[in-house]
Amino acid sequence: MGDAEIKNELSEYSLCDHCLGRLFGKFGHGFSNAERGRAVRYCMKNNVGEMKEEDIKRFSKLEKKISVNCYLCENIFEETEKFASIVTEKMRKYEFSSFLIGSKTDREIIEREEELWEKLKLKFYEQIRSELNREIGKKVEEETGKKVNFSNPDITAIMDTRYDNVTLQISSFFMYGRYKKLVRGIPQTKWPCKACRGKGCEKCNFAGKMYPTSVEEIIAAIVMEKTDGYEHFFHGMGREDIDARMLGNGRPFILEIRNPVKRYFDMSKMEDEINNYAKNRVEVSNLRTSDGSEVVKIKDAMTEKTYRVVVMFEKPVNKEKVKELENAFPITITQRTPLRVAHRRADKYRKRKVTDFRVESTDENPTFIIKGESGLYIKELISGDNGRTVPSIAEMLGIGCKAKELDVIGVEYGEGIERT
C-alpha cells in the first residue's frame, strides 16, 4: 500500500500520538513513539510527500495531540504514571537494584492493532505491550532510582492494565561458599522420611525427615531469617556420605533463596552468624553473592577429591604389604553401581581414576590418603563391594576389609568457578 493510501486509511481512525507513532515504530532512531506520531500527524495534515527521518526530527517536538478516545489503546498511555505508581508501591518492601516491566492488556486492543497492521500492510510497527512496558519502566526508574535490566532483573513486575493489578516475580538470592562438616551423622540436604515422604509419621516422630538436621538446614536457618525468603535449595559440588566428615578446604556450594525480601548483606557478618549458630557442627567460609549461571558450573564441575580413610581388616595384615600398595597407583578402576545405592541409582559400570594413594599409618587400622576423580566410590574401592569394584584394596591384599572412618579432606576443581 502506498503512502497516499495509508494516509487516507489512517484518516478514518482517531489515534493518539503513541499509537500513530507505533505503527511506524521501527522507522527512524532515537525517537519515542509519541514524537514519531506527532511528526507523522503533521506530515499527513500538511500533505508532506514520502516521510523521511529528517521529517521526524523536524516535527517530533510539535504540540502533543490527545485523542478524545484513541481507537487502538483507548488512551491507555495517559495512565502510565498511575501504573508506575502501582508497581512502585508493590515493590516498596523489597531490596533490589534492577527491575523489568511486563504487561497485560485487553485482548480487544491487541486484536484492533493486529487488524490495522494487516489492513495497512505495515512493516515497521511495534507492539503496544513493548511500548507500554517501556513507558511504565521509564517512570518507575524516575520514582525508584533503580535501572531496567532486560537479562537478569532482581524483580519482574507484570502490570495487568485491565484491573490495575501488578504481580511480582522475585529473582532468587544466590550465596556461594564452602562448607566443612565437622561431625558425622549429618546429611548434606534434608532427607525426607521414606515411609511418609515428608508428611510426618510415627517412624520419623512426625518430623517428616530421616535426620534431625542437615548441612543445608543449618546454613539456611540464618540466611532465611536474613532474607525473609519463602524457601531454599542447596546446590553442592557433589556430596559426602552421611557418616563422613567434610574437612580440609571445604566443599563448594550455592544456597538459593526463593522470593527474598532482602538481598544485600555484609557477607563477613553472615559467615560469623552462621558459624556461631552451627555450634561446631558445620563451618562456612568464602561467602559471597552468586547467580543462577554459577549453579550450573557448580553442578557440572570436574573435580578431584582427596580422602582420608581408616580401614578395618578382617584379620591381621602385613605392614609391608600395606605399604607396598602405594606402588599400584595411579590406576583406573571399574565400578559397578554400589549395592548400597543401587535402589536409587541406575545400574551402570563406570571407569574411575585413582590418581594418588599414600599410606599415612600402618597401625592395626591403617590410614590411607586417596585422591581420585569425581564419582569415585571410596568405600567400595576399599571393600570391593562383592566384586563390583575391580581392583580393590581387599583384592590387592587378599584380605577382606572395609572403611571404618572416612573424611573428605580436599575438593579441587578447574579454574573459572571460584571468584574472590
- Helix then strand then coil, in percent of the chain rounded to 5, is 35, 25, 40
Say how far apart CA 417 and CA 415 lie, in whole Å: 6
Say if CB 353 and CB 372 are below 8 A apart.
yes
Q: Which of 17, 241, 385, 407 is catalytic?
A: 241
Say if CB 121 and CB 1 are below 8 A apart.
yes
Say how far apart CA 363 and CA 90 lie, in whole Å: 66
Is 241 labeled as catalytic in the residue annotation? Answer: yes
Alpha-carbon separation of residue 256 from 81, 186, 189, 276 (angstroms): 35, 20, 13, 21
Strand-pairing partners, residue 368, are 309, 359
Q: Mark out the alpha helices in 308-411 (DSSP H runs).
A: 319-324, 378-383, 393-397
Say if CB 155 and CB 94 are below 8 A apart.
yes
DSSP run (H or E) holding 72? none
Say how far apart CA 327 and CA 318 lie, in whole Å: 16
Active-site residues: which are they?
241
